[in-house]
Amino acid sequence: MNPSPDNKPHPLPLDGLRVVEFTHMVMGPTCGMVLADMGAEVIKVEPIEGDRTRHLLGAGAGFFPMFNRNKKSIAIDLHKPEGAALARRLAGSADVVLENFKPDTMAKYGLDYAALSAQNPKLIYVSHKGFLPGPYEHRTALDEVVQMMGGLAYMTGRPGDPLRAGTSVNDIMGGMFGAIGTLGALIQRGITGRGQEVQSALFENNVFLVGQHMLQYAMTGQPAAPMPARISPWAVYDVFTVKDGEQIFISAVSDTQWATFCEVFGFADLKADARYASNNDRVRERPTLMPILRERLGHYSAAELANLMEANKLPYAPIRKPEELFDDEHLLATGGLADITLPDGERAGQTSKATLFPFTMDGQRLGVRLSPPKLGAHTDELLNALGLEADAVQALRQAGAVG
């Protein structure tokens, strides 16, 4: 945040808020990360063996370091009575409790909303589920499950080939909606003095994402086609394969952009052709227009096209891979990436760049105060703060209740 006139940094918006997080995987941790980045003290309660995402391979390897920065870690075995009692004591010190386990799981340990709010009516309790309460609520949900049943995989893939989106969209957005609900509940608590339960769910998040396609059907009476086969609202809006097999995304989404596009590339004949006069005309004539454009633009290199599009303020994009973004000049120049220390795996202790939230507050990005924690890194600190002496902590450790 920007410094004040006396050169002291402004406090972050949630400074002084305590959040206790009983979460795993992506959805719940994303909610906790939002609150942590905004200044809350977020305490991640992990099982003795650690959040499973610490040890995932392949596409899951980035989960823990991405979604658990700015948090403290305490390892507690909830299956042991001493561990469950300790977790209840810790939750009793919280303004907000987060969880994302199956329905009824938290009640087994006295960590459900009913039990905790009876002791602390000001508590805000945020549950992240597969489904909101209803016929599906006891189903096991994953991001891919709800993408398939919620129409997103159908819209992403080619006809007859449903395909999940290339990132954990429902998990991440579901966590963000949990955080939005938390912020609203905090404001309401400031007015009424009482907390409440907030619920966010993967399936309902997914349905929200495809709502535009549902309303497309309501408006037109025509089912929305999968994105690769869709009727585009713009004629020039596609990936082009050009010289040496390179690819680039090029678009011209207005009549003004179309005129500029034709002038830049010397397509006077296309600009004058009445069949392509308006955007809707060009959409209807895409079967004739696109082969012409592909053939003519195919003689350029991707770099040449990018330079011409950039110089004339026409929308375009290189086709990039995620690992290439570490060196993106805009992200590096604007502070969109921050250093973290990797907590686990073969590269534990090494430094990497991580993406920050895509907004500023008081002109500053919300940064990294704490790297993703090692398992149980703050156990002793947090238990001491709860009033437990060293011998009591050692007894809990010997009993296997804490790590």
Distance (Å, whole) CA 167 – CA 171: 9
The tens digit of pLDDT for each residue in 120-158 reads 999 999 999 999 999 999 999 999 999 999 999 999 999
Tell me which amino acid residue 321 is.
Answer: K
pLDDT of residue 229: 87
Biggest CA pair distance of the chain? 86
Inter-residue contact 269 to 293 (CB < 8 Å)? no
Supply 299's token pair.
């003689």
Q: Which of 112, 171, 328, 391 is catalytic?
A: 171
pLDDT of residue 233: 87
End-to-end CA gap in the chain: 35
pLDDT of residue 1: 52
Distance (Å, whole) CA 108 – CA 251: 55
Tell whether pTM > 0.85: yes
Inter-residue contact 76 to 20 (CB < 8 Å)? no
Distance (Å, whole) CA 267 – CA 250: 15
pLDDT of residue 134: 96
Bridge pairing between strands 71-75 and 41-46: parallel
CATH of 232-318, one of 1.20.810.10, 3.40.50.740, 3.40.50.300, 3.30.1540.10: 3.30.1540.10
Which positions of the chain have pLDDT values less than 70?
A: 1-9
Distance (Å, whole) CA 389 – CA 208: 49
Distance (Å, whole) CA 318 – CA 127: 39
Q: What is the DSSP letter of 141?
A: -
Superfamily of 18-210+334-398 according to CATH = Crotonobetainyl-coa:carnitine coa-transferase; domain 1 (3.40.50.10540)
Bridge pairing between strands 360-361 and 364-365: antiparallel
Q: What angle do CA 308, 310, 312 make, to 5 degrees?
A: 70
Supply 5's token pair.
């006139």
Cβ contacts of 2-6, under 8 Å, gap ≥ 24: 2/362, 2/363, 2/364
Distance (Å, whole) CA 399 – CA 54: 24
Catalytic residue check, 143: no
Closest of 296, 320, 313 to residue 247, by C-alpha: 320
Supply 82's token pair.
């001493």
Domain boundaries, the chain: 18-210+334-398, 232-318
Distance (Å, whole) CA 380 – CA 366: 28
Bridge pairing between strands 316-318 and 247-252: antiparallel
Q: For the residues of 269-310, what is the DSSP string, one character each?
A: HHHH-GGGSSHHHHHHTHHHHHHHHHHHHTTS-HHHHHHHHH
pLDDT of residue 230: 82
